[in-house]
């Protein structure tokens, strides 16, 4: 602030006082401004005096302008400060007035739960929703940490586990936040070093009394390392594989550690010695009769072994088999009186002649060879009357397949995917009128048909779907491989089909 200015008592900014008095210069001889005449000496002296007064006035004006510029700069700073004040407090009010800020913690917890359910299952503290929510605000952190159900899923795989992180510390923290809730564990950490795998497993096994669902892939050395600590009293669903091939003692130790097991899935091959049934099953290490679901994937059992397994697991509701069992004719059929769902893939057809399932509701099967058609016909002759859901993959689109459908009159859902032969107009027409004008699967509600369709029979598909919509309960159709489905979708929708989906792009 210049000496010639003082602060304004109202606003605090400088005000010029006293005002600068500028003497205006006067032109002594204006007639000489517009002519070339030489002025006299008196006029020259007067003109120089007036010019000196003008130069002094310029100095005073510049001082005044400098004072005003300083005032403007200070006003600009004050204005910016006021803008900043408004912006900061507007953000505060925005946070306070935002709808999500006014939600009660109970509703916020429900939202967080849905976020976690939709998040990929793979465990990664750098990207998982529950780990991000705790970083948003103190309030969100408190709500997130108070929800143990957000922290009881752990799935560690080669692709998900972060490389540059103390996994043991992160796992310990997550286990602590899950408090007392049952745990869902998935461990398939093949690419990690043995030391890192053991470290992670030790942390997971520290909470083994809370394991409820587990899918673990271990080496025999890891199983032996933890054998003395096996005890999973709450484990009801277990999927596991062992690498490399192991022995019966390892498997029996796993069974003894899971007294509450209800669902068992084994993936891989076992070589259990010359008498695996005696060594594994008859030792009574695990009561297979309490199982409700059994999955044997690529198990590689001898026929007698599968017979023994199913004989002991006689109360299962859901059975899934994958692998080449090749039972032949030397194995007696096994009755599974409670079985309601059967999924068979890549198996010899003789497996179907080996299972008696009087109340079966769902059957899913693929056709690896032609002989399976005969075995399936024999199986459905015994079981088809109870079937309501049938899925056939890689089946031949021929009259024999229609004969199988005739054995299951109570089907409500039928899926025939990736048909092995061209789907002809005769096959589609037969789906309408059936064999010998017998209506096939009259109770059908949902139909899926994918494969390579014979060209030039739009009317056959349209007539088939129309007839099932008008005179039957069909409400959903999923078609793949048919080029002109878009042309008839409008007509089908008007008939009442709730879902007409073209699956061609997914084939």
Do residues 112 and 56 share a domain? no
With cut-offs at 50, 70 and 90, classify the pLDDT of residue 330: low
Residue 325 or residue 121, greater confidence: 121
Q: Does any domain span residue 350?
A: no
pLDDT surpasses 50 at 162: yes
Q: How far apart are CA 19 and CA 453, in angstroms?
A: 99
The sign of the dihedral angle between the CA atoms of 447, 412, 422, 462 is negative
Q: Does any domain span residue 376?
A: no
pLDDT recorded at residue 302: 60
Least confident of 78-87, 165-174, 291-300: 291-300
Q: How far apart are CA 409 and CA 439, in angstroms?
A: 9
pLDDT recorded at residue 229: 62
**Residue 158 DSSP SS3:** coil
CA distances from 124 to 26, 128, 132, 163 (A): 87, 6, 11, 10
Residues 224-269 pLDDT 10s: 666 666 788 899 998 887 765 555 566 666 677 788 888 888 777 6
- What average pLDDT does the segment 26-33 reach? 76
Q: Does any domain span residue 333?
A: no
Do residues 150 and 163 share a domain? yes
Among candidate residues 188, 206, 224, the one where a domain is terminated: 206
pLDDT recorded at residue 285: 53
Do residues 109 and 201 share a domain? yes
With cut-offs at 50, 70 and 90, classify the pLDDT of residue 342: very high
Q: Does any domain span residue 288?
A: no
pLDDT surpasses 60 at 64: yes
pLDDT surpasses 50 at 279: no
pLDDT recorded at residue 145: 92
Among candidate residues 99, 116, 131, the one where a domain is terminated: 99
pLDDT recorded at residue 273: 47
Do residues 49 and 140 share a domain? no
Among candidate residues 164, 181, 206, the one where a domain is terminated: 206
Query: Across all residues in the chain, what is the average pLDDT?
Result: 77
Do residues 156 and 92 share a domain? no
Do residues 396 and 478 share a domain? yes
Q: Phi-psi category of 312—alpha, beta or left, where left has phi over 0 and alpha has psi -120 to 50?
A: alpha
Do residues 9 and 64 share a domain? yes
Do residues 146 and 95 share a domain? no
pLDDT recorded at residue 470: 75
pLDDT surpasses 70 at 482: no
Residues 347-360 pLDDT 10s: 766 777 778 888 99
Which residue segment(s) compose the domain that 88 sits in?
5-99
Do residues 455 and 491 share a domain? yes
Q: Does any domain span residue 303?
A: no
- Give how far the C-alpha of residue 166 lies from the chain's centroid of Cα atoms, to the nearest Å: 25
Q: How far apart are CA 490 and CA 277, in angstroms?
A: 59
Do residues 82 and 108 share a domain? no
Q: Does any domain span residue 268?
A: no
Contacts of 252 (CB under 8 A, 6+ apart): 279, 280, 283, 285, 286
Do residues 80 and 111 share a domain? no
Q: Does any domain span residue 422?
A: yes
Q: What percent of the chain has pLDDT over 90?
A: 13
Q: What is the count of structural domains for the chain?
A: 3
pLDDT surpasses 60 at 1: no
Do residues 54 and 74 share a domain? yes
- What average pLDDT does the segment 140-148 reach? 91
Please choose, from the candidates 325, 350, 355, 323, the residue with its C-alpha nearest in 3D space to the C-alpha of residue 340. Answer: 355
The domain spanning residue 463 has which CATH number? 3.40.50
Residue 134 or residue 231, greater confidence: 134
Q: Does any domain span residue 143?
A: yes
Q: Which residues pair with 296 in a beta bridge?
A: 266, 321
């Amino acid at each position: 602030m210049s000496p010639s200015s003082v602060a304004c008592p109202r606003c605090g900014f400088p005000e010029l006082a006293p005002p600068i008095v500028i003497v205006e210069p006067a032109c002594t001889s204006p007639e000489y401004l517009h002519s070339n005449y030489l002025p006299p000496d008196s006029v020259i002296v007067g003109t120089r005096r007036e010019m000196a007064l003008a130069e002094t006035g310029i100095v005073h004006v510049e001082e005044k302008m400098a004072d005003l510029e300083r005032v403007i700069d200070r006003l600009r700073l004050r204005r910016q400060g006021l803008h900043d004040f408004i912006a900061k407090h507007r953000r505060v009010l925005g946070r306070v007035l935002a709808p999500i800020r006014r939600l009660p913690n109970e509703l916020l917890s429900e939202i967080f739960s849905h976020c976690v359910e939709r998040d990929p299952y793979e465990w990664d503290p750098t990207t998982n929703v529950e780990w991000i929510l705790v970083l948003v605000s103190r309030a969100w952190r408190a709500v997130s940490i108070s929800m143990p159900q957000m922290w009881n899923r752990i799935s560690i795989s080669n692709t998900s586990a972060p490389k540059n992180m103390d996994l043991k510390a992160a796992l310990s923290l997550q286990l602590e936040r899950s408090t007392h809730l049952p745990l869902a564990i998935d461990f398939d950490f093949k690419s990690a070093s043995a030391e890192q795998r053991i470290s992670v497993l030790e942390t997971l096994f520290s909470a083994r009394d809370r394991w409820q669902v587990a899918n673990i892939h271990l080496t025999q050395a890891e199983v032996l390392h933890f054998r003395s600590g096996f005890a999973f009293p709450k484990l009801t669903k277990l999927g596991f594989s062992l690498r490399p091939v192991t022995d019966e003692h390892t498997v029996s130790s796993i069974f003894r550690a899971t007294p509450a097991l209800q669902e068992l899935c084994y993936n891989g091959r076992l070589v259990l010695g010359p008498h695996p049934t005696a060594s594994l099953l008859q030792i009574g290490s695990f009561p297979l009769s309490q199982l409700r679901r059994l999955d044997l994937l690529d198990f590689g059992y001898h026929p007698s072994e599968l017979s023994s397994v199913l004989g002991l697991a006689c109360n299962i509701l859901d059975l899934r088999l994958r692998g080449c069992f090749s039972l032949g004719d030397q194995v007696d059929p096994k009755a599974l009186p409670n079985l309601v769902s059967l999924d068979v893939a890549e198996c010899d057809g003789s497996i179907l002649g080996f299972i008696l399932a009087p109340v079966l509701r769902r059957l899913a099967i693929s056709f690896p060879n032609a002989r399976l058609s005969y075995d399936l016909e024999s199986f459905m002759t015994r079981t088809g009357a109870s079937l309501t859901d049938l899925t056939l993959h890689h089946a031949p689109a021929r009259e024999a397949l229609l004969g199988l459908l005739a054995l299951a009159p109570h089907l409500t859902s039928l899926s025939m995917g990736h048909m092995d032969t061209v789907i002809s107009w005769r096959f589609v027409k037969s789906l309408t009128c059936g064999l010998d004008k017998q209506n096939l699967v009259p109770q059908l509600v949902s139909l899926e048909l994918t494969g390579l369709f014979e060209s030039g029979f739009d009317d056959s598909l349209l007539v088939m779907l129309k007839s099932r919509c008008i005179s039957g309960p069909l409400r959903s159709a999923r078609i793949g491989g048919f080029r002109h489905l878009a042309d008839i979708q409008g007509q089908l929708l008007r008939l009442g089909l709730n879902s007409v989906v073209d699956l061609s792009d997914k084939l």
